């Protein structure tokens, strides 16, 4: 039997010049929200019109840590929790670069918590995109510092009882100049938030609440990725400027999203320059 | 002392090495696990977390490996048998506190399910490249004990052994499994508690006023106390004398205790001596057909299983090969290697790394036997043919080697189209 | 005076080992120091801080040693020569990132000012307890270069050499010193800029689209490097990777990646190894030493010669890679090696291995409190040679 060849005009997606197409398909699961974060980031880069040769992405270890491997700029996949100090070294080594850290909740708030706090305190000019899926997915579904009470994970087999971190509050308290939170559903708003965060000098944090279909929602019987997106649709409320101590995420309850902090502080480089000249 | 029946999940299981190690730890009386998830050791921590409430054990997932090891030291000083479970990168992060644990003479166990390295490496696959790190990873001089299992059953048994050695010698014990053993699923028999010997913590039993923290018995080990018992304990990582006080203090002219101090010498020497002196009681080896052997395979961990196959084949072909399996990798059996070196032509050392224990084998042979390394980068195990090839090479070579010879494995030939070292040497000439 | 001139204090100065190290770094072009303050490495930072305004460098005190090393690796990828300074406990903390530095093939220098004892030890006392740690401290397989200076002049010279080796071989280099050498104050000659010989990293010069971050050639196994921000859009990861820098999770890639990293140093060890021999030509006993101990060891050799014992000195200037061939060759001619160390036996194990039974090896504990004295080494050699 003759095989039928379908002729198709080859079309290229506009995002392809920002992605390492030679590595596709990516490793993320069906129903994962990290892809959304990457798309939003790619769109933001297109809007910002930065010289892509001067953009550098640093990530840590974890599912979100793999983002660096798919974005076609100078990118670094470093050690667990140390993306921020690595990025600090890059930024101080060449202040002309735009350095963006993309990593997960475990990587940035748990093992990297110390570095998160200090980089915010110093106001290093970095943009941090923190994808929060409430779990350590890459290593098989262990509890994270952001896991709500009383969710099940493989290392909280009887339900988590530890109070979870409130990432925007932590960022604000430590000194970040821009703090926003969106979910993987709010693609347009997330994109524009990333644009604002990148434009703003200083330490900016954009938290992206994301579904984890393989572990978090499966172990807790919350459905698949699409079910989680429906949940975000029904339960997220946009409240710009909300005080960050109101932003805890309780299990399967309302998620407050929006832009919470947008303030001015001298950046580390500005202060250092003044001191060197003084 | 026999194990506590409520800690032992007696029965026959079909489980992997990670889970078996967790069961072994609980059977040994471990009551604290401070851990951090890292592939490929997560199954062990998860198994412990599931069982912990039933045996009165505490599990906590710390924020990182540094927090984990620090919490383990703390729990040990609170009187509990404690451990942590990790892999390569986590092990590196724990080094400073391992040094602290060694200096304070804290008993604890670290289970390292080794993976391919260096750095992030291949997380889901096997390696044996942390074995030198377990000995020398922390700063300063200290000695540790390291065990290497080659099956899930041994993971269970050796974890109990690890805890016993830790308590006996007040030393960190490294349980150096690897991803292959950790993720291998085999039959594991957990016997009745009455068949399991465990070493209880050797608490000080004398008068409180006469307690001297680092006063040693004939084995150079001191009895321990725990926080909360009224000893007003001071433990420090600073170099200390037998009272546990930093010896820097002793230099001060204002130190009113000067006259009362019996022995101001630092305890540093004992950190190494207490293991070196008791080597013979600690070292455990498994010997196979060594009586008439002309070439000896020295192996540990998962590589021993591949080596058995090579050994069988070698014997079938009439080669007088034997095998020495290191159950305790550290302290290293210097004397046995030196003894064997006088009788045999050479040693074949297959390791899933580019040469670590082979240096020790070569050192102890004092030039009397040749040493061949069969290296392997990781992410899989050796092919028995490569080990057999190395055995044949040693038997065929009559001259004495002037250094360790690296055998060119089939994988190297495949990847580099030949021996990489040979290619470079040719260009250098 | 332009920036390069300000970095050079050409002339003769009276400097401590720490100050000489900082000057060496500046002369080598180091413009980034990320550190965490810990005694006794802090003096190097103080000197760097005093000079930093003149040279427009970056000095940042990070929140711990782990982040200090991470920042150094990041800065190195921007093309800057970067360094960190620490002591034993900090060096232990940096283990994971030294592994990352090896895997990403990042040039950088780590100065470890050793102190006595395990863990916190005795901060004010010199030690040599990290020599094996330099080689085996991180997980996985890797080779490292470690240098051991014995005077402020060598602190200056070897810091420059450390940068040079790190650039040439694209690897982290450890400078293993101690409180004794870092506190010695002696004359240090700083040459003219044109007399300083230092290698620079091999930069890629081909087409941007064809750039493969880890493509190597058989001449030196070192892939050419690029700086961030020059349009190469490369990706590097600590996962096992192929030539493109992308992770591949199989044994063939592990062999391709890691075997090359090992052989990059091992096969070129002869070019890297550096040592100083004195009176070994007719010696019966050779004292093998390094660092602060070597000053006392050489004194002991001279004392022995005065008393008619044919002693010689072999001083290790590079401790790793170890000069295996040279020790093996010496072992065939002499009766005994004596190895004094400020630890309970570390480098003596390598000497024993390379001697291959041709000469006896004897370890001597050189107590930190005995730095500056050589009588006990002399007495031991005399006793040993009488047998």
Q: Residue ranges of the alpha helices (H) in C15-139?
A: 17-27, 42-55, 65-76, 88-93, 95-104, 131-136
Residues B89, A145: C-beta atoms closer than 8 Å: no
Alpha-carbon distance of B157 to B196, in angstroms, equals: 9
The span from the CA of B158 to the CA of B135, in Å, is 18
For the cut 80, the answer to whether the pLDDT of residue C318 exceeds it is: yes
Q: For residue range C120-165, what is the model confidence (pLDDT) as tens digits?
A: 888 888 999 999 999 999 999 999 999 999 999 999 999 999 999 9
The residue of chain C nearest to residue A55, with distances taken between CA atoms, is C229
| pLDDT over 90 (residue A257) | yes
Q: Is residue A230 part of a domain?
A: yes
Best of B40, B57, B63, B183 to substitute, by most chain A Cβ atoms within 10 angstroms, is B63
Separation of alpha carbons C116 and C129, rounded Å: 7
Which residue in B37, B64, B119 is closest to A139 by CB distance?
B37
What Å distances lie between residue B148 and B173, B337, C245, C304, CA to CA?
11, 18, 33, 47
d(CA A85, CA A203): 13
How far is C149 from C252, CA to CA, in rounded Å?
Answer: 40
**Percentage of residues of chain A with pLDDT beyond 70:** 96
Phi, psi (rounded to 5 degrees) for B262: -70, -45
Residue C77 to residue A93, Cβ atoms within 8 A: yes
pLDDT digits (tens, 9 = 90+) for C321-361: 999 999 999 999 999 999 999 999 999 999 999 999 999 99
Which chains have 3+ CB pairs within 8 A of B? Answer: A, C
Residue A269 placed within a domain: yes
Is any Cβ of chain B less than 8 angstroms from the Cβ of A119? no
Q: What is the mean pLDDT of chain B?
A: 93
* Residue A211 maps to a domain: yes
* Share above pLDDT 70 across residues of chain C, in percent, rounded to a whole number: 99
Beta-carbon separation of C63 and A79 below 8 A: no
CA atoms within 13 A on the CB side of B307: 31
**Domain-embedded: residue A45:** yes
Contact in structure between A112 and B11 (CB atoms under 8 Å): no
CB C148 within 8 A of CB C127: no
Hey, what domains does chain B have and what are their CATH numbers? Answer: 5-195 (3.40.50.970), 285-428 (3.40.50.920)
Is A8 among the domain residues? no
> Would residue A244 count as lying in a domain?
yes
Using omega within 30 degrees of 0 as the cis cutoff, is the peptide bond preceding C40 cis?
yes
Q: Are A61 and B42 within 8 A, CB to CB?
A: no
Residue B245 CB: number of other CB atoms within 10 A? Answer: 18
Q: What is the pLDDT of residue B261?
A: 56
Residues facing A75 on adjacent strands: A57, C235
Q: B61 — contact with chain A (CB < 8 Å)?
A: yes
Q: Which of residues 155-214 of C touch B (CB under 8 A)?
A: none
As a whole number of angstroms, the distance between CA C355 and CA C332 comes to: 8
Residues 6+ apart with CB under 8 A from B328: B145, B146, B147, B282, B283, B284, B285
How far is Cα A1 from Cα B33, in angstroms, rounded to an integer?
Answer: 64
DSSP letter string, B303-315: HHHHHHHHHHHHH
Do you find a cis peptide bond into C6, omega within 30 degrees of 0?
no
What digits encode the pLDDT tens for the residues A59-72?
Answer: 999 999 999 999 99
Residue B224 has pLDDT above 60, yes or no: yes
- pLDDT number for residue C3: 67
Measured between alpha carbons, how far apart are the two ends of chain A, in Å? 83
- pLDDT score for B248: 74
Specify the higher pLDDT residue, B56 or B253: B56
- How high is the pLDDT of residue B169? 96
CA pseudo-torsion sign C24, C25, C31, C34: negative
Q: How many CA atoms lie within 13 A of A257 on its CB side?
A: 25
- Does some domain include residue A260? yes
- Nearest Cα neighbor of C43 from C53, C57, C30, C33 is C33
Residue A2 has pLDDT above 70, yes or no: no
Phi, psi for C85 (deg, rounded to 5): -130, 145
**Residues C385 and C284 sit within 8 Å (Cβ to Cβ):** yes
Residue A32, SS3 per DSSP: coil
Is the CB of residue C366 less than 8 Å from the CB of residue C180? no
From CA A167, how far away is CA A133, in angstroms rounded?
Answer: 12
pLDDT at C7: 83
Q: Contacts of residue A140 in chain B, CB cutoff 8 Å?
A: 37, 39, 42-43, 46
Measured torsion, CA atoms of residues B63, B68, B73, B76, in degrees rounded to the nearest 10: 110
How many A×B Cβ pairs under 8 Å? Answer: 49
> How far apart are alpha carbons C12 and C28 in whole angstroms?
17
Candidates C100, C249, C259; nearest CB to B377: C259
- Which residue is associated with the tokens 């080697």? B401
pLDDT digits (tens, 9 = 90+) for B315-373: 999 999 999 999 999 999 999 999 999 999 999 999 999 999 999 999 999 999 999 99
Please tell me the distance from the alpha carbon of residue B210 to that of residue B229, in angstroms, as a whole number: 14
**pLDDT tens, residue by residue, C199-223:** 999 999 999 989 999 999 889 999 9
Q: How confident is the model at residue B258 (pLDDT cuts 50, 70, 90)?
A: low
The torsion angles phi and psi of A31, rounded to 5 degrees, stand at 90, 5
Work out the pLDDT band at B242, boundaries 50, 70, 90.
confident
- Residue B309, C-beta contacts closer than 8 angstroms, at least 6 positions apart: B384
Across the interface, whether the CB atoms of B123 and C239 are under 8 A apart is answered yes
Residues of B in contact with A161 (CB under 8 A): none
Best CA proximity match to A56, nearest among A35, A37, A36, A73: A73
Tell me the CATH number at A233: 3.40.50.970
Is the Cβ pair C74, A79 closer than 8 Å?
no
pLDDT band for B253, please (50, 70, 90 cuts): low
Q: Which of B138, B139, B347, B407 best probes binding to C when mutated, by most C CB atoms within 10 angstroms?
A: B139
Q: Measured between alpha carbons, how far apart are the two ends of chain C, in Å?
A: 64
3-state SS record for B120-181: CEEEEEECCCCHHHHHHCCCCCCCCEEECCCCHHHHHHHHHHHHHHHHHHCCEEEEEEEHHH
Please give the average per-residue pLDDT across A203-210, as a whole number.
Answer: 98
- What total of structural domains would you count in chain A? 1
Q: What is the mean pLDDT of residues A217-231?
A: 95
- The Cα–Cα gap between A118 and A105 comes to 17
Under DSSP, the state recorded for C171 is S
Question: What is the model's pLDDT at position B229?
Answer: 87
User: For residue B235, is pLDDT > 90?
Assistant: no
* Short-list B338, B429, B132, CA closest to C95: B132
What are chain C's domains?
A: 3-193 (3.40.50.970), 274-386 (3.40.50.920)
Distance (Å, whole) CA B95 – CA C90: 10
Q: Are B408 and B354 in contact (CB under 8 A)?
A: no
| Residues B260-309: tens digit of each pLDDT | 555 667 888 999 999 999 999 999 999 999 999 999 999 999 999 999 99
For A125, the domain range is 16-277
Contact B46/A142, CB-based, under 8 Å?
yes
Q: What is the mean pLDDT of residues B59-64?
A: 92
Which among C152, C134, C112 is positioned nearest to C24, based on CA atoms?
C152
Q: CA A36 to CA A19: how far, in whole Å? A: 14
Q: Is the pLDDT of residue C55 over 90?
A: no
3-state secondary structure of A57: strand
State how far the Cα of B138 lies from the Cα of A237, in Å rounded to an integer.
51
Span C76-130, pLDDT tens digits: 999 999 999 999 999 999 999 999 999 999 999 999 999 998 888 888 889 999 9
Would residue A67 count as lying in a domain?
A: yes
User: Cα distance from C53 to chain A (closest Cα, Å)?
Assistant: 6
> Do the Cβ atoms of B39 and A77 come within 8 Å?
no
Q: Can you tell me the distance from the alpha carbon of B31 to that of B82, in angstroms, rounded to the nearest whole number?
A: 6
**Cis ω for the linkage preceding C349 (within 30 of 0):** no
- Integer Cα distance of A20 and B244 in angstroms: 58
Distance CA A76, CA C58 (A): 22
The dihedral formed by the CA atoms of B367, B372, B378 and B384, expressed in degrees to the nearest 10: -140
Do residues B173 and B30 lie in contact, with contact meaning Cβ atoms separated by under 8 Å?
Answer: no
**Set of chain A residues whose Cβ sits within 8 Å of the Cβ of B120:** 61, 77, 79
Residues listed for chain C: 387
């Amino acid at each position: 039997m003759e095989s039928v060849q379908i002729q198709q005009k080859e079309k290229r997606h506009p995002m392809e010049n920002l992605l390492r197409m030679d590595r596709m398909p990516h490793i993320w699961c069906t129903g994962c929200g990290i892809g959304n974060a990457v798309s939003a980031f790619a769109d933001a880069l297109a809007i910002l019109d930065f010289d892509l040769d001067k953009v550098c992405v640093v990530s840590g270890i974890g599912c979100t840590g793999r983002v660096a491997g798919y974005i076609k700029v100078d990118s670094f996949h470093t050690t667990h929790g140390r993306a921020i100090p690595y990025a600090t070294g890059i930024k101080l080594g060449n202040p002309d670069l735009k350095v963006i850290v993309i990593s997960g909740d475990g990587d940035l708030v748990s093992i990297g918590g110390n570095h998160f706090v200090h980089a915010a305190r110093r106001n290093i000019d970095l943009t941090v995109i923190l994808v929060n899926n409430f779990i350590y997915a890459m290593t098989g579904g262990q509890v994270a510092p952001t896991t709500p009470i009383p969710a099940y994970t493989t290392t909280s087999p009887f339900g988590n009882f530890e109070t979870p971190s409130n990432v925007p509050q932590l960022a604000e308290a430590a000194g970040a100049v821009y703090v926003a939170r969106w979910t993987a559903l709010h693609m347009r708003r997330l994109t524009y938030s990333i644009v604002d965060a990148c434009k703003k000098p200083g330490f900016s944090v954009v938290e992206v609440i994301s579904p984890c279909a393989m572990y978090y929602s499966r172990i807790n019987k919350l459905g698949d990725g699409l079910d989680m997106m429906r949940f975000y649709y029904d339960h997220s409320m946009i409240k710009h400027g909300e005080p960050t101590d109101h932003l805890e995420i309780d299990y399967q309850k309302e998620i407050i999203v929006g832009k919470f902090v947008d303030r001015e502080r001298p950046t580390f480089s500005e202060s250092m320059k003044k001191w060197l000249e003084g | 002392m026999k194990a506590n029946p409520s800690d032992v999940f007696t029965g026959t299981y079909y489980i992997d090495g990670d889970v078996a190690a967790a069961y072994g730890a609980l059977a040994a009386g471990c009551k604290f696990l401070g851990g951090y998830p890292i592939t490929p050791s997560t199954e062990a921590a998860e198994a412990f977390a599931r069982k912990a409430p039933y045996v009165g054990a505490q599990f906590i997932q710390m924020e990182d490996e540094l927090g984990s090891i620090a919490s383990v030291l703390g729990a040990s000083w609170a009187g509990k048998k404690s451990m942590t479970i990790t892999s390569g990168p986590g092990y590196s992060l724990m080094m400073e506190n391992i040094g602290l644990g060694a200096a304070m003479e804290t008993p604890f166990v670290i289970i390292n399910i080794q993976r391919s390295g260096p750095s992030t490496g291949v997380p889901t696959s096997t390696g044996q490249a942390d074995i030198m790190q377990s000995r020398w990873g922390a700063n300063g001089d200290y000695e540790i004990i390291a065990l290497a299992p080659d099956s899930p059953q041994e993971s269970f048994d050796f974890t109990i052994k690890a805890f016993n050695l830790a308590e006996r010698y007040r030393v960190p014990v490294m349980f150096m499994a690897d991803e292959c053993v950790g993720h291998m699923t085999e039959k594991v028999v957990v016997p009745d508690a009455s068949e399991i010997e465990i070493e209880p913590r050797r608490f000080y039993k004398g008068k409180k006023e006469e307690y001297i923290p680092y006063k040693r018995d004939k084995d150079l080990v001191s009895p321990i106390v725990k926080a909360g018992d009224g000893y007003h304990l001071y433990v420090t990582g600073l170099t200390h004398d037998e009272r546990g006080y930093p010896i820097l203090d002793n230099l001060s002219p204002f130190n009113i205790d000067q006259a009362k101090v019996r022995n101001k010498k630092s305890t540093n020497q004992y950190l190494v001596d207490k293991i070196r002196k008791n080597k013979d009681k600690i070292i455990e080896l498994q010997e196979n057909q060594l009586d008439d052997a002309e070439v000896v395979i020295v192996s540990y961990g998962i590589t021993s299983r591949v080596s058995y196959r090579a050994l069988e084949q070698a014997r079938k072909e009439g080669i007088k090969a034997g095998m020495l399996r290191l159950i305790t990798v550290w302290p290293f059996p210097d004397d046995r290697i030196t003894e064997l070196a006088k009788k045999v032509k050479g040693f074949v050392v297959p390791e899933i790394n580019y040469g670590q224990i082979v240096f020790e084998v070569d050192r102890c042979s004092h030039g009397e036997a040749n040493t061949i390394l069969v290296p392997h980068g990781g992410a899989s195990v050796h092919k028995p043919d490569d080990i057999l090839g190395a055995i044949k090479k040693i038997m065929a070579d009559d001259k004495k080697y002037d250094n360790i010879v690296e055998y060119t494995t089939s994988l190297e030939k495949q990847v580099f189209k030949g021996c990489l070292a040979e290619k470079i040497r040719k260009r250098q000439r | 005076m332009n920036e390069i001139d300000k970095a050079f204090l050409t002339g003769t100065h009276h400097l401590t080992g720490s100050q000489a190290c900082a000057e060496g770094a500046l002369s080598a072009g180091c413009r980034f120091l990320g550190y965490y303050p810990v005694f006794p490495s802090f003096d190097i930072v103080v000197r760097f801080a005093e000079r930093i305004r003149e040279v427009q460098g970056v000095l940042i005190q990070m929140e711990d040693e782990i982040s200090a090393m991470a920042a150094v690796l990041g800065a190195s990828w921007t093309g800057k020569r970067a360094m960190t300074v620490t002591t034993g406990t900090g060096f232990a903390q940096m283990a994971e990132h030294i592994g990352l530095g090896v895997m990403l093939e990042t040039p950088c220098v780590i100065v470890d000012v050793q102190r006595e004892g395990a863990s916190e030890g005795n901060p004010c006392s010199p030690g040599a307890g990290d020599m094996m740690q330099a080689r085996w401290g991180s997980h996985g397989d890797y080779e490292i270069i470690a240098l051991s200076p014995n005077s402020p002049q060598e602190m200056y010279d070897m810091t420059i050499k450390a940068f040079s080796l790190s650039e040439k071989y694209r690897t982290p280099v450890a400078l293993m010193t101690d409180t004794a050498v870092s506190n010695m104050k002696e004359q240090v000659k700083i040459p003219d800029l044109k007399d300083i010989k230092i290698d620079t990293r091999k930069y890629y010069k081909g087409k941007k689209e064809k750039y493969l971050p880890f493509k190597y050639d058989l001449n030196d196994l070192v892939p050419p490097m690029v700086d961030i921000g020059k349009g190469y859009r490369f990706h590097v990861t600590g996962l096992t990777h192929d030539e493109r820098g992308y992770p591949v999770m199989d044994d063939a890639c592990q062999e391709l990646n890691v075997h090359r990293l090992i052989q990059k140093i091992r096969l070129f060890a002869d070019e890297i190894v550096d040592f100083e021999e004195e009176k070994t030509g007719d010696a019966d006993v050779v004292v093998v030493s390094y660092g602060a101990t070597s000053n006392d060891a050489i004194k002991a050799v001279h004392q022995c010669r005065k008393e008619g014992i044919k002693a010689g000195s072999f001083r290790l200037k590079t401790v790793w890679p170890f000069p295996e061939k040279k020790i093996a060759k010496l072992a065939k001619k002499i009766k005994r090696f004596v190895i004094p160390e400020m630890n309970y036996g570390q480098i003596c194990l390598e000497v024993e291995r390379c001697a291959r039974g041709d000469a006896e090896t004897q370890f001597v504990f050189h107590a930190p409190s005995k730095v500056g004295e050589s009588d006990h080494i002399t007495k031991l050699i005399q006793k040993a040679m009488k047998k």
